[in-house]
């Protein structure tokens, strides 16, 4: 009978050792999964904070680049004032009023007029 007990105890011992190893392995994997889940939740919280901060920065940027904000900043802090629109009146000169002088006659007429002659 002792041989029979030993023969039955070997497979039982092997099965008990394998089941204990499987339980330890499963506990290790569950612990690792919990740690990874914790890290993932921290990353998701960080992403959420960054997206909220991005929205705030976008709103601030749009308010800083608005025309009214730039106008008020220039007026209050830089002391600038609005430009007055003044119309500059130019004397109206028609093209027909200006008589073009031919280039060849121009230097001749100035040279001859120096001596008192006129060129036609």
From the centroid of its chain, how far is CA 36? 33
* pLDDT tens digits along 51-85: 999 999 999 988 888 888 888 888 888 888 776 66
Token look-up 């030993």 returns: 6
Q: From its phi and psi, is residue 96 left (phi > 0), alpha (psi between -120 and 50) or beta?
A: alpha
Rounded to whole angstroms, the Cα distance separating 104 from 62 reads 64
pLDDT single digits (tens) 2-57: 666 666 678 888 999 999 999 999 999 999 999 999 999 999 999 999 999 999 99
The per-residue b/e assignment along 82-98, b for 16 or more CB within 10 angstroms, e otherwise, is eeeeeeeeeeeeeeeee
């Amino acid at each position: 009978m002792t041989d029979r007990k030993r023969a039955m105890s070997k497979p039982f011992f092997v099965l008990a050792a394998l089941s204990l190893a499987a339980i330890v392995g499963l506990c290790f994997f569950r612990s690792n999964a919990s740690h990874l889940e914790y890290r993932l939740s921290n990353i998701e919280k960080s992403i959420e904070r960054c997206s909220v901060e991005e929205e705030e920065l976008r709103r601030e940027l749009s308010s800083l680049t608005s025309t009214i904000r730039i106008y008020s900043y220039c007026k209050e802090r830089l002391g600038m004032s609005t430009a007055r629109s003044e119309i500059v009146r130019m004397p109206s000169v028609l093209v027909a009023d200006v008589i073009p002088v031919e280039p060849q006659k121009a230097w001749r007429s100035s040279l001859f007029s120096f001596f008192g002659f006129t060129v036609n």
